[in-house]
Structure 1
Amino acid sequence: MAVQCKPIPALYTVYLLRSTVRHASLYIGSTPNPPRRLSQHNGLVRGGAARTSRTKLRPWEMVALVSGFPSMTAALKFEWALNNPHISVHIPSSSRLAVSTQVKANGQPRRPSKSLTSVVSNLHLLLHVPSFARWPLKVHFFNRGVFNAWEKWRTTATEQLRANLAVVTDFGREAASGNETEAAREVKDGGGLHTWGIHALPLDYEPIKEYVAKGQDIFEFERQGRCVVCQEEMQAGEGLQALCTNHGCDGVGHLSCWSRHFLAGEYTESIMPVLGHCPKCYGVVLWGDMMRELTLRVRGQKDVDKLLKRKRRGGANKAAGKA
């Protein structure tokens, strides 16, 4: 079976749902499109999950999520670990917080019941285990009570998360009336309307459009120049070449050189950097952002053409042939 090579997705998330009717009812899932998925769980469009289909628990609200997964498979691994922290191989036995006290008919440990405290504590745990600690993840909270539960655990936990892990909040729902449904997308903000929560998340590559355009200009016209790290002349089409993320900087380097440069100041045996400084502009570069542009450039030309609103070469040639 052929392996499909795809670019890092614009968005893929693992989310936490909570029933607005019964707060003790929680559900964990994954999706590239949180607004659509929430509509499915609430029965507004087809889809959803059997566990969220009970009308007496609807509507559900998406109170938190983790974004930045490099693939659907990566998100599914994280989702499974968060749903099964009592048996996940990603969690060392010595660090395990969830313990099964019952056994299923097949002899396997039964999944412990979820509580808000158990979910946020295991989320915190997964974010610093070796399997996920260096991924370019971001944690979002859309409910103040859920965020407070996270903060309560975070401030007392023995293990601390890396300093540059992004944790963002958006409590716009508190200014709106009613439950989180498709109608509750906007709230009044200073006389205007503000798109909040999951509805404000970018579902496409639009936030990096300028960065992608810069890369296309440099690599299509073979303006790489010398590697910003090793100073060797960059040859078009030879190996993976990455571009500085900072506005106005055209620094390009071998992927291996960037990695070695970023890891040089770390006392770690990791092979994947988190961030570093560009040798040319000295600005901070996030490894995850750099990889998103690189994989989009080498694996997602169709997505690039759509983002930059360019006609595909194949389509242009076909049109020329008909003429």
Structure 2
Amino acid sequence: MAVLSRPIPPLYTVYILRSSVNHASLYIGSTPNPPRRLKQHNGEVKGGAVRTSRNKLRPWEMVALVSGFPSAVAALKFEWAVTNPHLSMHIPSPARISIFTQRKKNGQPRRPRASMTSIMSNLHLLLGVPSFARWPLRLHFFNRDAHTAWEKWCATTKEPMRSGVPILTDFGRDSSRTATSIANDKESESHAAEPSPWGVHALPLDYAPIKDYVAKGRDVFSFEREGDCVICNEHMPPDEGLYGLCSNNGCEGVGHLSCWSRHMLSEQEDESIIPVGGRCPKCHGPVKWGDMMTELTLRLRGAKDVDKLLKKKRKAKAKA
């Protein structure tokens, strides 16, 4: 029950590590804080995993990750499936790519050795299976080799990629640039306070990306401006049901959660019971079910998180 009492986390990821010393050494894990977890794997702070603790393989680099999981449990399920594609029941047998060929002494199947190609192929498969297809997942690449392996697999496989999954890239410094351009960048950085963060260090670890949405929700429901449901037009008494709010700027369209769900599902061509998104009947702008659920769970279960997010920062006193 403790898990159910919390709002949807701002970030939870399943990540892929690669040893910068031995590129064949790979590791898969999950975390709500990729920068801190990377430091743990590299021994900069306490934590990490036994498999990544050998100094001869450090430093590790986070080459890719999947984000958008609705809970820690959801991320752990996906992590296990990516780590054990030869056993995962999320993968139908006819589509299984990784197959075990050996057994352990106890008779259990031995996990096949993973490569960057095999991990990318299994990611491609898992992102589209029914177990995970309804989640608002995003695939991030921070390394060109990992992204190249992904593109090669996508180009060769006959299975189409699940639509609606954003593929984001952030490679930092481009290794293909000329020495002159790199020297010019260094000269520019010498006059800057700090270089801009990139990769896992640029990921938002809090609810800042939906701050305006959360602020609108607090304003609408604190002042009891629910009004009539934008779908069924019935009056919505304050605090007497689960109400969803449109996420688009300038729109205060509110509706029964069941009505929003039914409306979004009616715009989809399949027979799913959980919507992915649709358009607001009031402003006609696009609305994502995952964003609506995050705002709703914050409003109902995360008062302290909302207070922290909306707290106004004190202005620094001007120097005399």
> Residue 263 of structure 1 corresponds to which residue in structure 2?
265
Write the distance in 1 (CA, Å) between the matches of 2:136 and 2:20: 31
Q: By how many angstroms is 1:145 displaced? A: 1.4
Find the aligned partners of 2:84 and 2:163 in 1 and give their Cα distance.
27
Distance 1:143 1:204, change over 3 A: same
Q: What is the CA–CA distance in structure 2 between the aligned matches of 1:85 and 1:166, rounded to whole Å?
A: 23
Structure 1 pair 119–188 and aligned structure 2 pair: CA distance change class (3 A) = farther
Structure 2: tracts of 5 or more residues without a match: 177-184, 313-320
Equivalent position of 1:159 in the other structure: 159
Partner AA of 1:307 in structure 2 = L
- Percentage identity across aligned positions? 68
State the one-letter code of the partner of 2:79.
Answer: E
Query: Is structure 2 residue 229 aligned with structure 1 residue 227?
Result: yes
For residues 259-289 of structure 1, give each alpha carbon's deviation from its aligned partner in whole angstroms, at most 9, with x where no partner exists. 1111112221211111111111111111111
How far off its partner does 1:157 sit?
2.0
In structure 1, C-alpha distance between the alignment counterparts of 2:275 and 2:297, rounded to whole Å? 16
Paired position in structure 2 for 1:196: 198
Rounded Cα–Cα distance in structure 2 between residues aligned with 1:199 and 1:271: 36
In structure 2, what is the Cα distance between the partners aligned to 1:255 and 1:69?
20
User: How far is 1:69 from its partner?
Assistant: 0.3
Structure 1 counterpart of 2:297, which letter?
A: T
C-alpha contact 1:209 1:307 (8 A) present in aligned 2: yes
List per-residue Cα deviations over 1:91-138 (Å, max 9, x = no partner).
111111010001112211110001000000000100000000110000
**Which residue of 2 is the match for residue 141 of structure 1?**
141
Which runs of at least 4 in structure 1 moved beyond 6 Å after TM superposition? 187-190
CA distance in 1, matches of 2:172, 2:13: 20
C-alpha separation between the residues in 2 aligned to 1:238 and 1:246? Answer: 24
Could you tell me which residue of structure 1 aligns to residue 102 of structure 2? 102
Report the alpha carbon displacement of residue 309 of structure 1 after superposing the two structures with TM.
1.6
- Please state how far the C-alpha of 1:204 moved relative to its aligned partner: 0.5
- 1:8 paired with 2:1, answer no
1:276 aligns with 2:278: yes
CA shift for structure 1 position 188: 6.3
The residue type equivalent to 1:280 in the other structure is K
In the alignment, the residues of structure 2 paired with residue 250 and residue 2 of structure 1 have an alpha-carbon distance, to the nearest angstrom, of 31
Give TM-score scaled by structure 2 length. Answer: 0.90
Equivalence for 1:207: 209
Tell me the equivalent position of 1:130: 130
Residue 173 (structure 1) shift: 4.2
Matches within 5 A, 1:30-49: 30-49=30-49
Helix, strand or coil: the match of 2:63?
A: strand
- Which residue of 1 is the match for residue 25 of structure 2? 25
Provide Cα deviations, 1:80-99, integer angstroms capped at 9, x if missing partner. 00000000011111111010
Structure 1 residues 188, 7: CA separation in 2 closer, same or farther (over 3 Å shift)? farther
In the alignment, residue 8 of structure 1 is paired with which amino acid?
I
Contact 1:240 1:254 in 2 (8 A): yes
**Contact 1:42-1:58 at 8 Å conserved across structures:** yes
- 1:261 aligns to what SS in structure 2? helix
Distance in 1 between the 2:152 and 2:203 partners? 26
Output the TM-score relative to the length of structure 1.
0.89
Q: Mark the runs of 5 or more structure 1 residues left unpaired by the alignment.
A: 177-186, 311-323
Q: Residues 189 and 146 of structure 1: is their aligned pair in 2 closer, same or farther, counting only changes over 3 Å?
A: farther
**Preserved contact between residue 175 and residue 188 of structure 1 (Cα < 8 Å):** no
Rounded Cα–Cα distance in structure 2 between residues aligned with 1:2 and 1:306: 21
CA distance in 1, matches of 2:146, 2:2: 43
Structure 1 pair 73/131, CA: closer, same or farther in 2 (3 Å)? Answer: same
1:290 to 289, 292, 308: 292
State the alpha-carbon separation in 1 of the partners of residues 290 and 3 from structure 2: 22
Q: Secondary structure at the match of 2:196?
A: strand
AA paired with 1:66?
A: V
Greater shift, 276-285 or 231-240, is seen at 231-240
Tell me the secondary structure at the aligned position of residue 195 of structure 1.
coil
Change (3 A) 1:130 1:4: closer
Give the match for residue 251 of structure 2. Answer: 249
- CA–CA separation in structure 1 for the residues paired with 2:12 and 2:104: 32
Give the superposed CA RMSD.
1.9
Residue 168 of structure 1 aligns with which residue? 168
Task: Show the counterpart of 2:64.
Answer: 64
Q: What is the distance in 2 between the residues matched to 1:101 and 1:303?
A: 48
Matched residues in 1 for 2:225 and 2:247: separation?
Answer: 16
Task: Specify the code of the residue in structure 1 equivalent to 2:201.
Answer: H
